Amino acid sequence: MTRLFAALPLCLITLALACDSAAPAPAPGTQDTAATRVVFHTQSAMLVASVSPADAADEHGWFREVVRDYYPAVCLDVDRDEDGLPDATDHSFDDSAEASDAGTGPVDADEPTADKALRCKRCNRGPLNSADFRYEERGARADLDRGRVLSMTATQVVVAGPGGAVTIEYGEKTDLDTKHGALAPGAEIRARGTLRQNAVRTIEAERLDVLCPGPGIIPESEIPAGVPVAPPAPTDAIN
C-alpha cells in the first residue's frame, strides 16, 4: 500500500513535542495571527514565544536585544494561517503570491524597518517551491523528500507533516550527508529508509541528507527568564 502526504495550502501540520517552560503557551487559534512570534533555535529544538502588542510597540521590548544579538538563530515571524507553526517554518503555508523581501510573506507597513530585517527566512529552494513537503510510504519503505527539523536528539530528528509528526531515526549505519550544513533544528532534510514496525511515521534512515542548514543555535540559558516558550503547537486536522 502506498500513502502519499503532500502539503497543501491551509492544511494543518501536527507536531507532538514536550517542553519545560516558564508558562504554558496560548492555545492555537487564540492568538492574533498578525502578532509577532519570536522563534528560538536551540541545540535540541525550535521554540516559539508570542509577543504582546504592548511589547511589540515598545522599542525597548524584551525580545529586541536577544533577537539582535543572536539573529538569525533567533528571529521574528507571524502565523497567518493559525496552525501553530510560524510562517517561515510552515511548509503548508503557500506564500508564493505574497512574497516579501524577507521571504516570509507580507509585512505590516507599520512594522519598524529594523524588525523587518530580523524576520525569519525560508531556505532558498528556488522558484515555485513553497508548500513542498513530501512524505511517502510504500510497503515497508518510506521517503521524506523535504522536511524542516523541529526537534532532535543524538539518534532522532522530528519534522512536521500534514498527517502528523515524522520521526527519523539515524545512527552509525546511516549515510549522513552534511555537505550543505549541519544537522540541527531549522535545517531542511531528506531521508530514505524503512518503516519501524508498530510505530507511526517513523523511518529507520538508511540515508539522511541536509538540504539547507539551520539558522544557527542560541543556548537555552540565553532565552530570557520568564518568557513562556513552547514547541510549535500540535494540531491534527487530517485524519
Query: pLDDT below 70 — which residues of the chain?
Result: 1-34, 91-114, 124-132, 233-239
What is the CATH classification number for the domain harbouring 198? 2.40.50.140
Answer whether residue 176 is part of any domain.
yes
Under DSSP, the state recorded for 45 is: B
For residue 97, what pLDDT is reported?
Answer: 37
Answer whether residue 187 is part of any domain.
yes
For residue 193, what pLDDT is reported?
Answer: 97
Answer whether residue 167 is part of any domain.
yes
For residue 68, what pLDDT is reported?
Answer: 92
pTM for this one?
A: 0.76
For residue 42, what pLDDT is reported?
Answer: 97
CA distance to 72, 76, 98, 164, 171, per residue, from 55 (Å): 20, 13, 27, 33, 43
Answer whether residue 60 is part of any domain.
no
Range of the domain at 171: 134-212
Answer whether residue 38 is part of any domain.
no
User: What's the total number of domains in the chain?
Assistant: 1
Taken in order 92, 120, 17, 176, the sign of the CA dihedral is positive
For residue 128, what pLDDT is reported?
Answer: 46
Answer whether residue 70 is part of any domain.
no
For residue 112, what pLDDT is reported?
Answer: 62
Q: Give alpha helix (H) positions in the chain.
A: 53-57, 62-70, 113-116
Answer whether residue 141 is part of any domain.
yes
For residue 70, what pLDDT is reported?
Answer: 96
